[in-house]
Amino acid sequence: MSIRERLSGNEAVAYAMRQINPDVMGAFPITPSTEIPQYFAQYVADGLVDTEFVTVESEHSSISTCIGAQAAGGRAVTATSSCGLALMFELLYVASSSRLPITLACVNRALTGPININNDHSDSMGCRDAGWIQIYSETNQEAYDNFLQAMPIGEHSAVRLPVMICQDGFITSHGVENIELLEDDVVKGFVGEYQPEHYLLKHENPLAVGPYDVTHYYMEHKIQQAEAMKAAKPVILQVAEAFERVSGRKYGLFESYHMEDAELALVLIGSSAGTARAAVDQLRAQGRRVGMVKLRVFRPFPMEELAAALAGCKAVAVMDKAESFSAAGGPLFAETRSALYDLPQRPLCVNYVYGLGGRDFTVDTACTVFDALADIARTGKTGETYRHIGQRSE
């Protein structure tokens, strides 16, 4: 039986951590993720978890703590944002290449500079190639649900990769919403106990973690990582099916909204999906065949599935809440456009970079994008493919 509550996204993630009861948390505060270790520290102080809560001097040290704990055979969690994630950058690669399924709550915030504490996806997108599974949340409910699914995904024997659960800073992290929580025993049964095959404290099989990898072995190990990321996709869907059985809530690699007959579509990530959904409803009421795809899983990227979802469209706008500074578009655009390449009939595709540093994304903005797509579909000409929207210069 579910428990009905009203929680912020940060509270929801901390609550999920309490129910999981990890062995170690490495923690250093940074806005807007600070509340997660703050709430969890109270659980530790109240004796509600058995977790070793390690207060460190930087985010570099917090992820180092998690790497050490996970390598020793324990479950480790942390939370961070923005520059904190950037400070972890070197160790993100160490964690994934060492095949350590750490779970990190990333509360997305614009990455310096200039300094900005509001939401966009520049932090997590900046480390998209670090070898971590990345799952994004639209709502507080999804942040909670995704965090519970992270460990069964990352710890799966075919995967063994760290998992980053992302939510939008302040928009969901501090906004309070109605939420349904699972009971503690249900969570424990769903997540299960961590059963590492190899770890530092296993006396029967001594090993090193993170040793120097010479030329004769390095590439083979990178291919193993790449194969593990491929294997993660079906595991994510298997875990989602198991989660639906205990929660009644269904998840996939992405959500298709009114895509069955859509001629025009938006592709986006995170809390903006709620705004885009309202725009789709508004335009559908006018008889326009529009739809939306909200990507949940960015790593591994669901290339074939996304292409199939967009195959019937005439024009698609990919919405990036992060700059890539490639002079050719944002990261989600690059991935999505590549996914469409092998379709026999490709939709025309443009990119909009929006919402940087917390800039508002409104229903009117989404409708403006759909209007532009209608012109593209009518004329057959995309014009400039790499665009920005919402800035004052318009």
Whether the predicted pLDDT of 128 surpasses 60: yes
Contacts of 306 (CB under 8 A, 6+ apart): 253, 254, 267, 293, 295, 336, 339
| pLDDT-derived band at 210, boundaries 50, 70, 90 | confident
pLDDT at 388: 97
Q: What's the pLDDT at 203? A: 87
Nearest to 14 by CA among 92, 82, 103, 101: 103
pLDDT at 1: 65
Residue that has been written with the tokens 């532009």 in this structure: 372
pLDDT in tens, 219-268: 999 999 999 999 999 999 999 999 999 999 999 999 999 999 999 999 99
Share of the chain above pLDDT 90, in %: 95
How many angstroms separate the CA atoms of 245 and 194, rounded? Answer: 21
The percentage of residues in the chain with a pLDDT greater than 70, rounded to a whole number, is 99
Residue 394 has pLDDT above 60, yes or no: no
Give buried/exposed letters for 269-307 (b at 16+ CB in 10 A, else e): bbbbbebbbebbebbeeeebbbbbbbbbbbbbbbbebbb
Any idea which residue has 């961070």 for tokens?
80
pLDDT by residue (tens digit) across 302-320?
Answer: 999 999 999 999 999 999 9
Q: Is the peptide bond before 344 cis (omega within 30 degrees of 0)?
A: no
Q: What was the pLDDT predicted at 378?
A: 98
Q: How far is Cα 72 from Cα 67, in angstroms, rounded to an integer?
A: 8
Name residue 315's beta-bridge partners.
264, 348
Determine the Cα–Cα distance for residues 223 and 22; give it in Å rounded to an integer.
30
Predicted local distance difference test score (pLDDT) of residue 209: 86
Query: What is the rounded CA–CA span in Å between residue 200 and residue 198?
Result: 7
What average pLDDT does this structure show over 340-362? 97
80 pLDDT above the threshold of 90: yes
The structure tokens 């725009």 sit at 279
Report whether pLDDT(136) > 80.
Answer: yes
Mean pLDDT for the stretch of residues 202-207: 86
Q: How many CB atoms lie within 10 A of CB 215?
A: 6
Average pLDDT over residues 274-282: 98
Contacts of 122 (CB under 8 A, 6+ apart): 82, 110, 111, 322, 323, 356
**For the packed helices 59-71 and 89-97, what is the interaxial angle rounded to 10 degrees?**
10
> Chain-wide mean pLDDT for the chain?
97
Whether residue 53 is predicted with pLDDT greater than 90 in this model: the reply is yes
Task: Give the pLDDT mean for 203-208.
Answer: 85
Contact 225, 161 (CB under 8 A): yes
Q: Which of 47, 109, 41 is nearest to 77 (CA)?
A: 41
Closest-CA residue to 387 (of 304, 328, 301, 331): 328
Supply φ then ψ for residue 65, to 5 degrees. -60, -45
d(CA 105, CA 22): 13
Average pLDDT over residues 143-162: 98
Distance between CA atoms of 265 and 306, rounded to whole angstroms? 12
pLDDT of 187 higher than 60: yes
Residue 306 CB-half CA count within 13 A: 30
- Average pLDDT (156-181) is 98
> Rounded CA gap, 65 and 24, in Å?
8
| pLDDT for 282 | 98
Contact in structure between 80 and 132 (CB atoms under 8 Å) = no
Strand-pairing partners, residue 265, are 291, 316
Q: Where are the alpha helices (DSSP H) in the chain?
A: 9-20, 35-45, 59-71, 82-87, 89-97, 122-126, 140-154, 184-191, 215-247, 272-284, 303-310, 331-340, 363-379
pLDDT band at 343 (very low <50, low <70, confident <90, very high): very high
